[in-house]
Amino acid sequence: MTDSKNSMKRLPAVEKQISTIDSKSDVRVRILGTVIGNDNNSIMIDDGSGKAEVLFESPIEYIKEGQFIRIITRILPTISGFRCQGECIQVLEDFDIKLYKDSRNIISR
């Protein structure tokens, strides 16, 4: 039996646009965007508000340029801003971004 007081839990990944990521307060974020580049262990993603490079520990050759994806990433502060350490990727095939944005607007009311 594990002691719930001593068990480690991950912080929830908060949905953010790249331009609103704050390295002082954001620890884990979810980013929706289009892959604009990939190189072995990294992906460059554009969400319309900005671009970010997300680094992974292992090769991610199955992700292709132009795919729409959701990434969960840890935000690591640096002197010049932040670095993204990717945790997982979800390829969003046939994803209706307009419907998604409409539903997010309704929920936020």
Domain-by-domain residue ranges, the chain?
14-107
Q: Supply the CATH classification number for the domain 14-107.
A: 2.40.50.140
Highest mean pLDDT of the ranges 6-10, 82-86, 97-101: 82-86
Alpha carbon distance 91, 88 (integer Å): 10
| Confidence (pLDDT) at 46 | 97
State how beta strands 42-46 and 68-78 pair: unpaired
pLDDT, one tens digit per residue, over 46-77 is: 999 999 999 999 988 899 999 999 999 999 99
Structure token digits, residue 43: 């992906």
**Residue 29's closest CA among 8, 44, 15, 45?**
15
Whether pTM exceeds 0.85? no
